Amino acid sequence: MVNYRYLGNSGLKISEITYGNWLTHGSQVENDAATACVRAALDAGISTFDTADVYANTKAEQVLGDALKGERRESLEIFTKVYWPTGPGGPNDTGLSRKHIMESINASLTRLGTDYVDLYQAHRFDTETPLEETMQAFADIVRQGKALYIGVSEWTADQIRAGHALSKELGFQLISSQPQYSMLWRVIENEVVPTSAELGISQIVWSPVAQGVLTGKYTPGAELPAGSRATDEKGGANMIKRFMHDDVLQRVQDLKPVADELDLSLAQLAVAWVLQNDNVAAALIGASRPEQVAENVKASGVVIPEELLAKIDTILGG
């Protein structure tokens, strides 16, 4: 079963492997498969579910809400996000203005079929709206009980520091940051992680298996596996391309002996790897099939010894 970690220095515990539905629910996978993945997550002890209003243009929230219907609300942590437009594109349909935030939370709650989300996240930083206005809107949402905690996603260290300071002044506390992080994407280690650790903020990291690349299923020179994200031209193919280079795919294959030494699959090694970072509260996994969830959750609780971490650095960085 999955272990739990505290989110930032709050009292909220979340499952250290958390399930997210970007590119899958309401788009790549049929609703039955989406429900099967959610079921597999619940069966494995995952209690934390992440979505966003913009995923599949609002359909992902609806599908997740439907899949979780009937579950005991108190046993779940439901996270969503605000920033991008979900409508036809009016002047206030985007960003972190008070208007957009207040309208978006209500629409998200309706789609998710819940009175509150556990974590409401700013999906990106808004350079045009005063940060004071954004943080005041979040403070009001917390006071109204529509969100219990507030987080951000893909904010820089300086933006996190400024948002955190304002949140304290306004009587709540920013507790999480949601950045991309994996063995192939380590940008946050330089500034975001040290700043967050100092402020009592955790990372909930997305694409821990680099959208499937770190499972080793894409091999140099070979055909793309049928039905995989890299073949999904409407959805994920575009973003996964940044990893689809023969030298990267070969290095991933070269990690196999390290995974074997720990009796793990490559996917499990990749998920376990992000969880070795103390500032990471959760690896935020995606899945197109329930078997992937069942496989990846086995990374919970795995300890990768220092010498193998060093070996991984050599293989990927050398």
DSSP 84-122: S--SS--TTSSSS-HHHHHHHHHHHHHHHT-S-EEEEEE
Which residue among 10, 21, 177, 195 contacts ligand NDP (CB under 6 A)?
21
**Using N-to-C axis directions, what is the helix angle for 59-68 and 31-43, rounded to 10°?**
50
Alpha helices, H only, the chain: 31-43, 59-68, 98-112, 131-143, 157-169, 192-199, 237-240, 246-254, 256-261, 266-275, 290-296, 306-317
Does the annotation mark 149 as catalytic?
Answer: no
User: Least CB distance from residue 218 to ligand NDP, whole Å?
Assistant: 9
Q: How far apart are CA 184 and CA 313, in angstroms?
A: 10
80 belongs to the binding site for ligand NDP (CB under 6 A): no
Residues 248-277 that bind ligand NDP (CB under 6 A): 267
The reply to whether 118 sits near ligand NDP by the rule CB under 6 A is no
d(CA 28, CA 79): 21
Q: Which range of residues in 86-94, 111-119, 283-291, 310-318 is near ligand NDP by CB under 6 A?
A: 283-291
Q: Are strands 4-6 and 13-15 parallel, antiparallel or unpaired?
A: antiparallel
d(CA 237, CA 86): 22
Residue of 55, 83, 149, 218 with catalytic role:
55
* Minimum distance, C-beta of residue 295 to ligand NDP, in the bound complex (Å): 4
What is the Cα–Cα distance from 18 to 297, expressed in whole angstroms?
9
- Pattern 83-102, ligand NDP, x by CB under 6 A: --------------------
- In sequence order, what are the residues at sequence separation of 6 or more whose Cβ sits closer than 8 angstroms to the Cβ of residue 270? 182, 183, 208, 209, 210, 214, 215, 299
Give least dist CB 21 to ligand NDP, A.
5
Of 2-10, 21-29, 100-108, 190-198, the window that binds ligand NDP (rule: CB under 6 A) is 21-29
Q: Is 206 in the site for ligand NDP (CB under 6 A)?
A: yes
Angle between helical axes of 59-68 and 98-112 (0-180°, round to 10)? 40
Q: Which of residues 122-151 bind ligand NDP (CB under 6 A)?
A: none
> Considering the rule CB under 6 A, would residue 27 count as an interface residue with ligand NDP?
no
Encoded tokens for 151: 């987080």
CB nearer ligand NDP, residue 135 or residue 236: 236
Q: Given the complex with ligand NDP, which of 7 and 210 has the nearer CB atom?
A: 210
Find residue 151's DSSP bridge partners: 121, 176
Under rule CB under 6 A, residue 47 binds ligand NDP: no
> Is 295 a residue that touches ligand NDP (CB under 6 A)?
yes
- Minimum distance between the CB of residue 177 and ligand NDP, rounded to whole angstroms? 10
* Interaction between residue 154 and ligand NDP (CB under 6 A): yes
Angle value at C-alpha 295, between 294 and 300, nearest 5 degrees: 90
Select from 48, 167, 211, 300 the one that contacts ligand NDP (CB under 6 A).
Answer: 211
Q: What's the closest the beta carbon of residue 54 comes to ligand NDP, in angstroms?
A: 10
The residues annotated as belonging to the active site are 55
Kindly list the residues in this chain that would bind ligand NDP in the complex (CB under 6 A): 20-22, 24, 50, 153-154, 178, 206-212, 215, 217, 228-229, 267, 284-288, 292, 295-296
